[in-house]
Structure 1
Amino acid sequence: MLLPVSSLDDSFDDRKVFKMKKWTFSIAMVILLYVGRRANAQLSNKFKVCAKFGTYNECQQLDRTNEIECKKNFHSVDCLINVNSGASSFGSVTAEEALLANPFLQNVVVLGEYRSEPYLDDSVFQTVVLVKSTYSGGFSGLSGARYCHPGFKYDLEVTDFLLKEFELQLFNSTSLNLCNAETTTSTLVEKHVKTLADFFGPSCRPGPLTEDVSFNQQLKESYPSLCELCSDNCAPFTDQLFMSSLICLTQKNGDVAVSSLNSVRNFFNISDNKDKAQNYRYLCKNGTVTTLDNPCVWSKQPWDLLIANNDIKDTLLPQVKVWLQSHSISEGGSYSAGSPLSPTSRESLISVLMPEDRKFKKIKFFDNPVNLTTYLSGLRNVSTATEAVQCGTTVNWCTVSNAEQEKCNWLAQAGANRGIQPIVNCVQATDKLSCISQIYNGVVDVVDIDTNFGYLARRNGLSALAFAETVTRNLTTVLIVVKSNTTDINIEGLKDKKGCFPEYAGIEWLAFANKIRPRSTCDLEVVVRDFVGDSCMPGAHSNDRRPVSNGYDSKLCGLCQVNPANQGSTATTCNTDSTNLFYGNEGALRCLQSTGEFAVISKNNYNVDPNEFRVLCANGSLALYTGFNVDQNCALTVVINSEVIVKNSNPKIKDLSIAIFEFERWFGQDSRKPFELFNQFNSTWDLLFKDSTPGLDSAQSQNQYVTNYKNQVSAVCSTSLSTKTAASLLTIFLAILSVRLNF
């Protein structure tokens, strides 16, 4: 019933109107929140494609369409890890990337294979071994045989593991003992080569035997029989890799050859070779032989793969089939269950999944996605890094965090998949100083250190196995700085003044010590102690940084101050961490601002006003202008920023060097490689190496900045032996003295 107008007006006073408006507003807000949450839910439920470096422009276009979300990755390992965790829904990976990830990831499935025409084979290629038709089988009977091998060259797809698989099976199936081979260098690579040369007769195994050029030449000269059947100075065959061994087999009267199944078929289909086919058989991995019309393969190289997270495979597969229908070669399967993309999104997605450098552009979808491990097991045996160790020889690599340990384990597997020996074994320590100590004690073999630790490494009898290559962004420039209003001072005038250093025995400390020391003295610790006044040198109290025999001088930490955010007294502990307000380069500048009279730092962009400081040049003059922007002639030194160190007396040092440079060649700076040694891993920076590292230089490098660094650490001498070494010598001396006294 309608109320009278007067009654209506009386019923709705201002308070009631306000309550109604408030109630209506609340309802509206609930609706808006519900709609917003639904929209966010839909947004968060979008499939996320894994985009790799080089496809970011297409990825940006895809993001703009709001249909599929792009998850950017620096390289494919991160893509695989993200798909496994669900951070990404799907993506494309190469065969070698999939093989690398296999031991680590359990939640990845294969949606399909990238194929090439005519789409028939289940793999890119399949390795086989041919013998003469008169051969009855087994491996021992090949002793003295003429061995034909396709050879080694730089190839990201045909790995050394595949090319050496027959040889490793030969060693395992006969009385050959690789590990007992008596060689000049005792390296694994020479043991392998010598064992082959002793077992086979005249052979052709072309290409480099190792990436070490001088060592390769030495091996070629020591074992010439492995090149006796080759032409072109035993150089690798430049085209159609697997055909070369078949030419050797048929034209050089070979007895056994490693090749591929397609190469064998194509070779014996040539009219001139058809009548030769009856003279050969396949040698199987179990030692049996089969006819050419009944091939047995050793390993299959997978196709590149379209992968997805296992948890969403059933909802994703119908969608992807529709999105990529124009590139599909699948037989059967439904294409109507998924929703189509807009033309812009479809083209952008195709560009992300199939960039220009991808060899194969067609996809064979599986009706039922297959677990990655199950898929790969049908193609070849994938050994873990531990299973691939030869003769018990490993590169024991020191790591300093869980993230670094994980990357190291992936490196070990990448090396095993590639066929690099020795295999990496990852050993976790607490920090780089601990790694230095463990290398000295023989617990580990190598670690990459900041050159800040170079002095301490030399004091422990360690040296460089390799140096970081040098580019502008990869240099450490050491400067002496004073306050901007300082006048009329030179380096000699710093005597007894208050000094601020990033840390004790670091590269800044070392460069300063070398500048002030008399040329006849190499006890840098005494030189610095006697030169400075009260100072802050974080770590000066630590036995790991400073021999106990020198004693602890409190003035080396006299200026250090506790960080207000922490409790405790850094004046007595002098920590090399954030509890010390003056730790590190910025800390040294704060020290100079607060209480010091000079600081020694590495040039960089710091969160300070550079106009408060002036550089005191190496020649003793003050820079004309304030700030840190001076040329290299003004600096105390300009050096590389990292090196791989090893104990000088390590008997594996040649093996270690070979492995390190093999890693650089196969896993260095190149986005096409299955593993990137000098790049972030699992979204974490600077693991194992600095991400700015472009490559490695040999320990014999004559690079200007390497030479500068060598000159800095060359002052370390017997008067600066580590506490451990000094204690050992003292023990020996006392023992001898005791014997003589008793006598």
Structure 2
Amino acid sequence: MQKVAVILFLFSFINNALLQGTGSGTNGNLRLCVVEGRGSYKRTLKNCPVLDKESSGVECVLGTDRLDCLRRINKGTVDFGAFSPEDLIAAQWAGVDVLVTNELRYRSKPFERSVVAVVNRRILSDEPMPVRALLKNRTLCHPGSGVDDLRPLSFTLSAYLEFQVLSRDCLDDLSLAENRVKALADFFGSSCKAGAWVVDKNRDAQLKRKYFSLCAACGSSSCSANDPYWGSSGALACLAEVGDVAWGELVDIQAYFGLTEPRGKSLRPPAEKYAYLCRDGSHQPLETPEPCVWLQRPWPVIVAKRRASEAVANLALSLHNNNVTVDPHWRGALAALLEIRSAQPEPLQPPVTPADYLAKARGFREAYSQTGCVPPRHITFCTTSNLERNKCEWLSEAGAVYGVAPSIQCAIANSTSECMKAVANGDAHIVAADSNWLMKAERDYNLTAVLHEATPIVDKTHTVVANVLTDSHINKMADLRGKRVAFPEYDGVAWHSVLRYLKNKEELSCGDFKGYFKEICAPGVSQSVIEQAKVFTTNCYEEGLSGEMQALKALVEGKTDVAFISMETYKTYRAKLISQPWASEPLQLNPVCPEDNPKYCFISWANIGHIYASKNISTMRHQEIVNVFTKLDQLFGKQYPFHNSIFSMYSPFNHQPDVLFHNSTKNLITDDSLKSQPYSRIPLNFERSLSNSTDSCQAEEIANLSAKIQPGLLVMMVSLVVYLIS
């Protein structure tokens, strides 16, 4: 009996162990990493509770983006997820150790996309000819490039097809984007490549005027994405009406020419007048059932960590019900989370590595290993922490997957000032920093903001508001005379905005600021430069602390009469979101509105962040920085709310907010775009005041003292001479 009991106990133990599963979740549940879409339909809110309620053995984990999910699978904190073939390229490059368990097909084709070339037979020769000789000076109907993985072609796949025909240009005085456009224009004759060539609209218009032959065959002079010849179907219409050659998706071509679905003869061009063009220069009739393919894109897949791959494959196989996509129970919920649109995920037996899975698709891996210009170009992004550099490197990986060139290289320095020195010295090309660096970047490092982190929400911009206690009897800006004031930091946006505003409105000279305020709190002046700098930190801030929270704290604790802080900081305080004892019971504060801005009530506003580069860079280099980061913004930002991104530029990274870029950023804009934005008409913009004039007080003092003071001390000494309390 004792042996039987032991056997029963062991059997029970083994059975429980098997039930527990091999996942990383509770009781061995498999953990599914899901990226929530940006539309109104929130699939995780609807479906994840169903998995928990019905004891499915699957738990949801919300990932920031698909690369975040891949990192979590690699670390073993989640077990599986659904990914695109482009994600697998990134996983392969990053050395992520995962296996592909199932394909997520929605039709019975071995590949999601098969791209072919179609030509008008009038250009074909009776003698075999190389593709380049056959297509030289012909009319190309290009489907264009877009942010979607499917239609039109992605930037990478489009470039791959182009460079199967023409040579890559690498002229040093042209950006890589312009080199690519020039190569197309030089090779083909009058053609149509509708849609945006670069994201920046002004630069896009310049390129289209310069290389007008690539728009000459379009249906409209704008050559935009609204052109009738843009996109997959547009390129085929272009071919039928004016063109010689087009690339297109095989199923689209078969449908367009009536080879799969019967159409009236009057509605389609005759298929016998066209042929598939093969990469070796040969051609095939359109009726060919399996024609020569230039490029294949694999299906999306389910990816799992090695230890859980068998369990995930078995789980996917359990989704075999033909009605699983409308099943109200946990299998239907799981199918929705995996975005399964067919009866069953196609199993891979056994599971394979990403490299092996991608290898079966013609041209796909090769598209992501194209050789660039020699020597290769890159943009060095200076970061100030390991976390920033890590996010920069993943941004670089994601950009490379989608054909963004030149590539980003990520460097690291100890501080923002060290990064700005590196950019000024040519050791790096760019650095990202907030608006408090605008004046210092231009004045001290000869840098300029080439791009701005913009948000249409006024409260989220970098505003400067004079806040006082309700019973202070300070009602207008002129009442600030003789008061104690607290700035977030010396030499930042608030510092320059307030002094410049008062100087202009009250017609003060630089010398008049001596004694204007009773006491100034503005930390950040180096006391190693001049002993009197302690005047700016006496009695208001704790040693070593600065920033808007410290200015607000000084006001709340009665150490100052006025705190110059942002609208966002004030709202955070009022909402009791500051986890500090001094902020537990918020006091009633009032803003002091400038007379010429009663609507918004701020002294100035600036965009929340900027990408800074040297003023001395060439026009070409400036264009490349703008091209690269506006393209990254288009792909991985917030411009396309329904685009499920491989990477999120403006989301938290490793659970930390505002890494590299601010989470509240909507998009990156150029100076020209800044002027055309609807909110550009809001008064008292700091960037415009900075670009239209220099700080006159500093300019006057520098002119007078330049012969007496060492250059390294000029800026600090001048500011102290001008503003120091007597």
Q: TM-score, normalised by structure 2?
A: 0.76
| AA at the equivalent of 1:557 | T
Aligned residues: 636
The Cα of 1:613 is off from its aligned counterpart by 5.6
Distance 1:421 1:561 in 2: 46
**Structure 1 SS opposite 2:48:** helix
Q: What does residue 565 of structure 1 align with?
A: none
Question: Where does residue 722 of structure 2 map in the other structure?
Answer: none
Contact 2:278–2:294 (CA under 8 A) maintained in structure 1: no
Matched, 1:615 2:590: yes
Query: Conserved in 1, the CA contact under 8 Å of 2:468 and 2:590?
Result: yes
Aligned: 1:541 with 2:526: yes
Alignment match, 1:45: 28
Quote how far apart the aligned CAs of 1:235 are: 5.0
RMSD: 4.2
Mapped to 2, the partners of 1:404 and 1:686 lie a distance apart of 10
Q: Distance in 2 between matches of 1:611 and 1:731?
A: 46
The answer (yes or no) to whether the contact 2:493–2:686 under 8 Å persists in 1 is no
Which deviates further from its counterpart, 370-379 or 387-396? Answer: 387-396
Task: Select the residue among 516, 529, 549 that pairs with 1:586.
Answer: 549
Distance 2:345 2:20 in 1: 33
Give the AA of the match of 2:608.
N
Q: Distance in 2 between matches of 1:542 and 1:470?
A: 39
Report the secondary structure of 2:337's partner residue: helix
Residue 146 of structure 1 and its aligned partner are, at CA, apart by 0.3
Q: Are 1:64 and 2:53 an aligned pair?
A: yes
Q: Structure 1: how far apart are the matches of 2:247 and 2:563? A: 64
The answer to whether 1:163 aligns with 2:158 is yes
TM-score, scaled relative to structure 1 = 0.74
Q: Which amino acid aligns with 2:207?
A: L
Provide, for residues 373-395 of structure 1, a one-character-per-residue CA deviation record: whole Å limited to 9, x for no partner: 32123321267799656764333
> What does residue 335 of structure 1 align with?
none
Offset at 1:673?
2.8
CA distance in 2 between partners of 1:503 and 1:523 (Å): 23
Give, in whole Å, the separation in 2 of the partners of 1:362 and 1:523.
77
State the AA in 2 paired with 1:655: E
Aligned in 2, Cα 1:309/1:542: closer, same or farther, shift over 3 Å?
farther
Quick one: which of 359, 381, 385 aligns to 1:397? 381
Q: Whole-Å Cα distance in 1 between the matches of residues 456 and 517 of structure 2?
A: 33
CA distances 1:649-675 after superposition (whole Å, capped 9, x unpaired): 321112222222222222221352332
1:345 correspondence with 2:330: yes
Aligned match of 2:207: 219
Work out which of the residue numbers 301, 307, 316 in structure 2 matches 1:305: 301
Alpha-carbon distance in structure 2 between the residues aligned to 1:552 and 1:224: 63
Amino acid corresponding to residue 500 of structure 1 in structure 2: A
Aligned to 1:693, the other structure's residue is in SS state coil
Report Cα offsets for 1:387-418 as digits up to 9, x if no partner.
65676433332322222222222222332332
Which residues in structure 2 correspond to 1:572-583 (within 5 Å)? 575=544, 580=545, 583=546
Corresponding residue number in structure 1 for 2:88 = 98
1:674 to 620, 640, 646: 646
Deviation, 1:686, is 1.8
**8 Å contact from structure 1 (residues 522, 716) kept in 2:** no
2:367 and 2:449 map into 1 onto residues whose CA distance is 32
Deviation digits for residues 32-88 of structure 1, max 9, x if unmatched?
xxx99x989993311112222122221122223333211122332222222222222
Distance (Å, rounded) in 2 between the aligned partners of 1:706 and 1:542:
36
**Paired residue for 2:716?**
none
CA–CA distance in structure 1, aligned partners of residues 300 and 236 of structure 2: 27
TM superposition shift of 1:266: 5.3
| 1:162-202 residue CA offsets vs partner (Å, 9 max, x unmatched) | 12213334455xxxx612377xxx33322322232223333
Matches within 5 A, 1:316-331: 316-326=312-322
> Is residue 84–residue 300 contact of structure 2 (8 Å, CA) maintained in 1?
yes
Which residue is equivalent to 1:424?
408
1:716 and 2:694 aligned: yes
Alignment of 1:371 with 2:353, yes or no, is yes
Q: Does the aligned pair in 2 maintain the 1:324–1:350 contact within 8 Å?
A: no
Q: Matches of 1:474 and 1:315 in 2, distance apart?
A: 46
2:440 is the counterpart of 1:477: no
Write the distance in 1 (CA, Å) between the matches of 2:508 and 2:636: 40
Kindly state the Cα deviation for residue 282 of structure 1 after the two structures are TM-superposed.
0.5
Distance 1:77-1:386 versus aligned 2 partners, 3 A rule? same
Q: Percent identity?
A: 22
Q: CA deviation at 1:155?
A: 4.7
Distance 2:191 2:635 in 1: 27
Which sections of structure 1, spanning at least 5 residues, go unmatched? 1-34, 330-341, 563-569, 622-629, 733-743
Range moving further from structure 2, 437-446 or 367-376? 437-446
Question: Is the partner of 1:463 in helix, strand or coil?
Answer: strand
Which of 279, 285, 292 aligns to 1:283? It is 279
Kindly tell me: are residues 471 and 42 of structure 1, through their superposed partners in 2, closer, same or farther at Cα, counting changes over 3 Å? closer
Q: Deviations over 1:423-444 (max 9, x none)?
A: 3222223333333333333333
Q: Which residue of 2 aligns with 1:195?
A: 183
For 1:717 and 1:485, locate their aligned partners in 2 and report how far apart those are by CA, in whole Å: 34
Alpha-carbon distance, 1:283 to partner = 1.6
Give the direction of change, closer, same or farther, for the CA distance of 1:224–1:239 in structure 2 (3 Å limit): closer
Give 5+ residue unaligned stretches, structure 2: 1-15, 37-41, 260-264, 713-726
Task: Specify the SS of the correspondent of 2:142.
Answer: coil
Contact in 2 for aligned 1:111/1:366 (Cα 8 Å): yes
The SS at the match of 1:455 is: helix
Evaluate the alpha carbon distance shift between residue 685 and residue 612 of structure 1 in structure 2; reply closer, same or farther with a 3 A threshold.
closer
Distance 1:520 1:491 in 2: 10
Distance in 2, Cα, partners of 1:262 & 1:65: 40
Q: Which residue of 2 aligns with 1:511?
A: 497
- Distance of aligned partners of 1:223 and 1:315 in 2 relative to their CA distance in 1, 3 Å threshold: closer
Q: What residue identity is the alignment partner of 2:496?
A: L
SS in 2 for 1:180: coil
SS in 1 for 2:490: coil
